[in-house]
């Protein structure tokens, strides 16, 4: 009997299905792993933005985590929306006892600009959560939120990675998708993966598609799935980049706003 690698996402629910827990589970399935979830918050969310968010109690988060880990087991974990210091500290405590790869996506703001992380939780992210990470995957807005550094071009990405690594993750994957051609990235969407010694620049064609909801969740989940399958961090990052680039290219319109990336693009042979 084939048992797929098991991957756990600890994140918020997106009722529109484009990001959060829903994007994570779709990605994990598409990459041949068994996805499981710890829901940290419920959002009312659609293509136009986040209309409401309700955080779950720390007790509920802890119970979900223990229920899955103690019985089914996990081979990698990915975290997403953790909106309060209490939840950040709770999850960091749970992760500290694991001996599997952990991908921390320090979600701060939604695709539509809605705040998803309280300012009061930033110290807990820096001091408690990031030290548990095998890989931390901040975008440029999250780099600024956590470090105060503004990345305006590829030359700044090394400084950003160093600042994130100072908080304790083994690797930093700085996502440069928000850079434009005028920032020196040309027609490429470029990310930097580094542990402070090795350095890998991950480049992919930039697609002219506004339907990009869920890109960060998808990349982090793909990275966790590949790590659960036994990839090294650089191998997992390259495979995740390839997957999310295809999903971005195939992103589609839903509703009146920003639609989601297509998590099933490989199943439909999309390119």
Is residue 259 annotated as part of the catalytic site, yes or no? no
Is residue 186 annotated as part of the catalytic site, yes or no? no
What contacts 7, CB < 8 A, 6 or more positions away? 28, 33, 34, 35, 36, 74, 75, 76, 77, 78, 221, 224, 225, 228
Report how far residue 13's alpha carbon sits from residue 19's, in angstroms, rounded to the nearest whole number: 8
Is residue 194 annotated as part of the catalytic site, yes or no? no
Query: What are the backbone angles phi and psi of residue 24, rounded to the nearest 5°?
Result: -60, -50
Query: What are the backbone angles phi and psi of residue 27, rounded to the nearest 5°?
Result: -65, -45
List 79, 215, 218, 245, catalytic entry: 215
Report how far residue 65's alpha carbon sits from residue 10's, in angstroms, rounded to the nearest whole number: 8
Is residue 215 annotated as part of the catalytic site, yes or no? yes
Is residue 175 annotated as part of the catalytic site, yes or no? yes
Report how far residue 107's alpha carbon sits from residue 237's, in angstroms, rounded to the nearest whole number: 18
Take residue 248 and report the two structure tokens written for it.
């971005």
Is residue 216 annotated as part of the catalytic site, yes or no? yes
> Per residue in 175-208, is it b (16+ CB within 10 Å) or e — as a string?
bbbebeeebebeebbbbbbbbeeeebebebebbe
List 147, 212, 218, 245, catalytic entry: 212
Which stretch of DSSP H or E encloses residue 159? helix 154-165
List 17, 20, 214, 246, catalytic entry: 214
Instruction: List, by residue number, the catalytic residues.
Output: 175, 212, 214-217
């Amino acid at each position: 009997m084939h048992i797929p690698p098991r991957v756990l996402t600890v994140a918020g629910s997106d009722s529109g299905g484009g990001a959060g827990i829903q994007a994570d589970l779709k990605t994990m399935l598409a990459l041949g792993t068994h996805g499981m979830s710890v829901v940290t918050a419920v959002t009312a969310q659609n293509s136009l933005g986040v209309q409401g968010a309700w955080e779950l109690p720390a007790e509920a988060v802890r119970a979900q985590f223990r229920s899955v880990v103690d019985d089914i087991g996990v081979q990698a974990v990915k975290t997403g929306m953790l909106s309060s210091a209490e939840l950040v500290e709770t999850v960091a405590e749970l992760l500290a006892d694991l001996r599997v790869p952990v991908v921390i996506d320090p979600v701060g703001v939604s695709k539509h600009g809605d705040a998803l992380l309280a300012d009061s939780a930033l110290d807990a992210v820096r001091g408690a959560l990031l030290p548990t990470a095998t890989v931390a995957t901040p975008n440029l807005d999250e780099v600024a939120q956590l470090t105060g550094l503004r990345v305006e071009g590829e030359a700044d990405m090394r400084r950003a990675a160093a600042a994130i690594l100072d908080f304790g993750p083994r690797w930093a994957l700085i996502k440069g998708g928000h850079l434009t051609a005028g920032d020196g990235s040309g027609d490429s969407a470029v990310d930097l993966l580094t542990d402070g010694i090795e350095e890998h620049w991950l480049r992919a064609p930039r697609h002219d598609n506004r339907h990009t909801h869920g890109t960060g969740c998808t990349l982090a989940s793909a990275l966790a799935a590949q790590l659960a399958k036994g990839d090294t961090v650089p191998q997992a990052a390259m495979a995740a980049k390839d997957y999310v680039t295809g999903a971005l290219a195939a992103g589609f319109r839903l509703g009146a706003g920003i639609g989601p990336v297509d998590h099933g693009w490989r199943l439909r042979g999309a390119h």
